[in-house]
Chains A and B, each alone.
Chain A
Amino acid sequence: MSLVESRVTLTLTYIALAILLVITLFPVALLLLNSVKPAAQIVQNPLAWPETFRWDNFTRAWQDARFGQTMWNSIVLTATTIVLVCTTASLTAYVLARRKIRTWKIVTFYLLATTTAPIQLFLFPLYFGFARLGLINNPFAVALIYTAVYSPFAIMLLRTYFLAVPKELEEAALIDGATHWQVFTRVMLPIVSPGILTVALIIGLYSWNEFLIATTFLQRADRMTAVVSFFLLSGQYSSDWGEIMAAALIIVLPVVVLFVFLQRRFIEGMAGGSVKG
């Protein structure tokens, strides 16, 4: 049974939804359209269909944003963060979900509190501390920061997956003589692997797109991430917007492709992690 039966209401609803659709897609369309146009044509009319397709926007963007280097930096940083978050968070989430330690309430409370801590509250001492230790421009150090910032979210999400595993499974394995560690690695982890995949995707997305920490801690040209390199490229005044949009598309495209294929996981993970806690 539907909420509203009147045909008029239904039509109006679709019209409103379509308008929102256009609003959402309009800037994305501008990105696509202008990434293949010469700068002069964009200045004439950013809405016009390209008269000539300038595919070399992409090769110039690749060179000027030094994507050969900076993309690789982003990949290394993202991969390191994913590994760190998934390992540490699954351990913690398992223990918290099963209430295996007496202090589970305090730990949960503490982690929830840090999800809402403003970055500025720890950024400055962290920066000057890292500077003293020579950890600026060190991707592993940045991956550790991301891990600290993102793992409470990952723990809360993974916790719900661990909760869904029946207790009997663990007990049976223990009776069969498995150690606690084996129960965790051989029984629990394979069952919650869909949850770990979701966490990996979302943490990957966040690290790939992150700006504030990356721009602060990875400043050297050979260490910066693709997003920061794009930011610097697009901040120059002699801007060729065709090239800038091409650079943007290079960064966005892999993310959108993943999103199209795995949108369910992205949406459930991002929405679930913040709503269900």
Chain B
Amino acid sequence: MHRLYVVPTLIINVVIILLPAMLTIALAFFRWDGITAPSFVGLQNFRELWADNVFWTALTNNIIWTAIFLTLPIAMGLLAATMLLIARRGSLFFQVIYFLPMIIATAIIARIWQGMIYSPVSGINGLLQRFGLPTYDPLTQPSTALLGIATVDLWHWWGFLCVIFFAALRQVPQEHIEAARIEGANFWQMMRYVLLPAIRPTITLMMIMTVIWSFLVFDFVYILTQGGPAFSSEVLSTMAYRSAFYDLAVGKAAAVAIVISLFGLAATAFYIQAQAREFEE
């Protein structure tokens, strides 16, 4: 009887995610324009990717992105969270403000940064240039486009981590903190030997999720630069999207999707392991 309760969830999930995912895996071995009959090409799609410079740029960009997001926002979040712990008074207020960017639509955040900050015409950038400062729009330069996008995502994202780390830090038993203080620990020793070890599971989980999300990043890249200029900020997800819907090379898009998934899969294995442990209680 209770078995029926999970049926709606599973049907929706299988139809929308599992079956299409399996089709994607199959499609990676076909050439298909989405309209005519697909033709089997074996590993051709993967071989073409291997020889495709844009693919390597995209993959490198994803790895750079992962490196940035494994360090900067996590460090910022941890630092701000410990400062909230020290400050105590007003911590709720700070927390709510830091969290605010998370609830704003990515499309809107992207346009605010693009038009009001980066733009040399209507943004802060233009204002600085009129003061004679040699600034430029990072999104228009191949060497800085990815960093320009990452900055926007960083602004949008770090507060979420701060809130999560702060919630975890507040769970650290007061006795541990007091004991360390009586032992004469200074702040950094407190961090190193009491606080960080206590919230390590949370940090680990967030790092795993960061790896997974870094290979999924799409919205900000697609809206801010569409992967340009000259594919310099292309990531795997925008490359797959463009292949499928602009070049109508669905087989190639599927092959890229599989590469994304492989990186996700490695992180997912860790994620499920970590979650399953929690699930057992």
A9 near B86 with CB under 8 A, answer yes
Which secondary structure dominates chain B's binding surface? helix
B279 near A277 with CB under 8 A, answer yes
A20 near B108 with CB under 8 A, answer no
Interface residue ranges of B105-132 to A (CB < 8 Å): 105-109, 111-113, 115-117, 121-124, 126-127
* Per-residue contact bits, chain B 1-34, to A (CB 8 Å; 1 contact, 0 not): 1110110111011011111110110010000001
* Per-residue contact bits, chain A 241-277, to B (CB 8 Å; 1 contact, 0 not): 1001100100110011001000100110011001111
Interface residue ranges of A1-59 to B (CB < 8 Å): 1-4, 9-10, 13-14, 16-17, 20-21, 23-25, 27-28, 30-31, 34, 39, 42-43, 45-47
* Per-residue contact bits, chain B 163-198, to A (CB 8 Å; 1 contact, 0 not): 110011000001001100100000100100000000
Residues of A within 8 Å of B116, CB to CB, are 27, 30-31, 34, 42, 46, 241, 245
A275 near B164 with CB under 8 A, answer yes
Number of interface residues of A (CB under 8 A): 100
A148 near B13 with CB under 8 A, answer yes
Q: What is the CA–CA distance of A24 and B219 in the complex, to the nearest angstrom? A: 20
A90 nearest CB neighbor, chain B only: B5
B12 near A230 with CB under 8 A, answer no
B246 → chain A, closest Cβ, in Å? 12
Stretch from B43-51, B63-71, B266-274 that touches the partner: B266-274
Once A211-B107, A245-B112 are accepted as A-B contacts, the answer to whether A148 and B16 lie under 8 Å apart by CB is yes
Interface residue ranges of B74-97 to A (CB < 8 Å): 76, 80, 83-88, 90, 94-97
A29 nearest CB neighbor, chain B only: B116
A120 near B253 with CB under 8 A, answer yes
A-B contact pairs, 30 of them (CB 8 A): A3-B177, A3-B190, A21-B94, A24-B97, A24-B159, A25-B97, A30-B124, A34-B116, A47-B124, A88-B8, A92-B8, A100-B2, A101-B6, A112-B276, A113-B272, A118-B237, A120-B257, A121-B258, A123-B241, A125-B24, A125-B27, A211-B106, A212-B222, A234-B115, A239-B115, A248-B112, A251-B108, A271-B164, A275-B202, A277-B278
Across the A-B interface, the 10 shortest Cβ-Cβ residue pairs: A148-B16, A122-B20, A209-B105, A125-B23, A100-B2, A125-B20, A120-B257, A91-B5, A30-B116, A92-B9
